[in-house]
Structure 1
Amino acid sequence: MREAPKQLAFDLPLDPRFGREDFLVSPSNEHAYAMIENWPEWPDTVLLLNGPRGSGKSHLAAIWATTAHAWTIDAFEVTQDKVPHLVSNGALAIEDFDRADRDEAALFHLLNLAREKRAFVLLTASTPPDRWGLKTPDLLSRLRLATSVSLDAPDDALLKAVLVKLFVDRQLVVDTSVVDYIALRIERSLAKAAELVTLLDKEALSRGRRVSRAIAAEILGAIQDADEIE
C-alpha cells in the first residue's frame, strides 16, 4: 500500500509571547515573579535574575522592561562609550550577563554610574556571579552586593501548563495524555518545550494528522539521538 504523500509544511516563525498575561506562575518562579511585580520597591537599584536556560528569565525581563520602560540589550553590547547613553534612560535590562565575551570594565562602569544616577538595572544570567570567571574583583564584589533572585527549572505542573499553552497558541488540539507523555520525557526547560512543540506542529502538518503520542515519541527519539551524536 502506497504511503500517503506528505503535505507541504511551511516553517512559519511564531514569535514568543512575553506579556505579563502569558507568564505562568508556579513554585519554581513565584519568588522571582513577585520581585518583578514589586518594582520599583526593590531593595537595591540592581537586580540579578539567575536560573537555568529555559526557566523564564527573559520573559520576566521583558515584563519588567515593559513596566519600567526599560531598554533591553545583551551583555556583549555594553562598551565604555555607550555606558552614559544606556544609563540615561533610567531603566536597563541586560541579558546573559555571564557570557564570556563581556567587557568587564564597561560593565563595572555601568553599574557604578547607574548607582550614582539611581537608574534601575536588571541582569539575567544562568548561574551566580562566583561562577562566571570574572577577572575584575571590584565587579564581582559589586555583583555579590546586588539583590539576587533565582528561578528553578520548571516543575511538572508548570511544564504541562506551558506545553498546553504552546499548543493552543498554534491552534493545535492535543489530548492531555500526549501532554503528560511529553512532560515525563522532555528536558525541564521552557525553551526546549517551545522547540519541541514547533517540531511537532511541523511534523503533524506534513502528515496531515493531529499531534499524537506516536508522533511525539518519534520526534522525542530523534531529538535524543541528535543530542547523543553531539
Structure 2
Amino acid sequence: MRDDAPPRQLAFDLPLDPRYGREDFLVGPANEAAYALVEAWPDWPDSVLMLTGPPGSGKSHLAAIWAERAHAWTIPAAEVRAEGVGHLVSNGALVVEDIHRPEGRDEAALFHLLNVARERAAPVLLTSAAGIDALGLATPDLRSRLRLAPGVGIEAPDDALLRAVLVKLFVDRQLVVDLGVIEAVALRIDRSLGLARDVVTELDRDALGRGRRISRPLALAVLRRLGLDGEADG
C-alpha cells in the first residue's frame, strides 16, 4: 500500500430512519392518484382501501401519512391474529402492511378483521406489492372481500420524479452531490424508487469506506460493480 494513499475507513451499516412526513412525500404522475385518495380521507368510497405498488414505491410513506391523519395503528399482515382483531379495530383506524407476504399470513384472521372493521365502520388501509389475483390466497371469502375494497395503485416513477427522489435520498443522508451524480444514476437504473434507494445506500457506504465524496466517476464505478451500467457514458 502506498504511504500517500488515503486510508480506507470502516463503513458502519447504521440504519437510516426514513422520513414519513407529508412534506417529505414527492408527488408525481406515478403516485398522484394514490396521494389524492389518501388525502381525501375521511371521504373514502369505502371503509377499506387497498394500496398497491412495487417495493420502495412509497406505499409505507403514504400509509404513514394517512395513519397520522386518522390516528391509526399500523401492523404487518403477518401479525394479524383472530384473537387480537377486536383490540386492533377498537382504536378506530388501522393500517395493515404487506398483505402480499405469505410468511405468517393468517387468511382467516384477515377475513375476520375485514368483517369486524366493516361492521364497526372502522377504516382500514391495506398495502400490497401485488394485486389480489397475484396474492396466492387460498380463502375464497377473503379474495371476495378484498375485491369489494376500492384499490389504488402506484406506478413506476417518471424521469422527473426519479431524479427528485434521488436528490431527496442524498439529502436525507446529509450528502452533497452535484447534478452529474444524479444524472449518472438516473440514466442507468430502472425507474424504481426501491432501486434508487438501494443505489444511494451503496454509494454512501462506498464513499464512506474510501473516505471520498461521491463524485460522478465514483458513482459510475459503483454502478458498474452493481451491474447497472447499461447506458453509454457521455
- Distance in 2 (CA, whole Å) between partners of 1:131 and 1:203 is 37
Where is the helix percentage greater, Structure 1 or Structure 2?
A: 1
Aligned counterpart in structure 2 of residue 78 of structure 1, from 80, 90, 93: 80
- Distance in 2 (CA, whole Å) between partners of 1:10 and 1:56 is 26
Q: Aligned partner of 1:128: which letter?
A: G
Q: Sequence identity of aligned pairs in percent?
A: 66
State the Cα distance separating 1:98 from its structure 2 match.
Answer: 1.6
CA contact (8 A) 2:7 2:211 kept: no
- Distance in 2 (CA, whole Å) between partners of 1:216 and 1:210 is 10
Equivalent position of 2:59 in the other structure? 57
Aligned counterpart in structure 2 of residue 110 of structure 1, from 113, 118, 126: 113
Pair 108,203 (structure 1): closer, same or farther in 2 beyond 3 Å: same
Structure 1: gaps of 5 or more residues: 226-230
Aligned counterpart in structure 1 of residue 150 of structure 2, from 116, 140, 147: 147
Taking the TM superposition and a 5 Å limit, the aligned residue runs for 1:173-184 are 173-184=176-187
Equivalent position of 1:45 in the other structure? 47
CA contact (8 A) 2:6 2:211 kept: no
Alignment of 1:89 with 2:124, yes or no, is no
Q: Aligned partner of 2:125: which letter?
A: L
Aligned counterpart in structure 2 of residue 167 of structure 1, from 167, 170, 191: 170
Q: Which segment is superposed worse, 33-42 or 158-167?
A: 158-167
- TM-score under structure 2 normalisation? 0.91
State the Cα distance separating 1:224 from its structure 2 match.
Answer: 2.4
- Distance in 1 (CA, whole Å) between partners of 2:195 and 2:126 is 22
Q: Aligned partner of 1:210: which letter?
A: R
- Distance in 2 (CA, whole Å) between partners of 1:104 and 1:170 is 39
State the Cα distance separating 1:166 from its structure 2 match.
Answer: 1.3
State the Cα distance separating 1:70 from its structure 2 match.
Answer: 0.5
- Distance in 2 (CA, whole Å) between partners of 1:57 and 1:169 is 18
Structure 2: gaps of 5 or more residues: 229-234
Q: Which segment is superposed worse, 214-223 or 47-56?
A: 214-223
State the Cα distance separating 1:206 from its structure 2 match.
Answer: 2.6
Runs of 4+, deviation exceeding 6 Å: none
Aligned counterpart in structure 1 of residue 135 of structure 2, from 123, 132, 137: 132
CA RMSD of aligned residues (A): 1.5
State the Cα distance separating 1:171 from its structure 2 match.
Answer: 2.1
Aligned residues: 225
CA contact (8 A) 1:54 1:153 kept: no
- Distance in 2 (CA, whole Å) between partners of 1:85 and 1:28 is 35
- TM-score under structure 1 normalisation? 0.93
Q: Which segment is superposed worse, 186-195 or 69-78?
A: 186-195
- Distance in 2 (CA, whole Å) between partners of 1:169 and 1:98 is 28
- Distance in 2 (CA, whole Å) between partners of 1:46 and 1:98 is 16
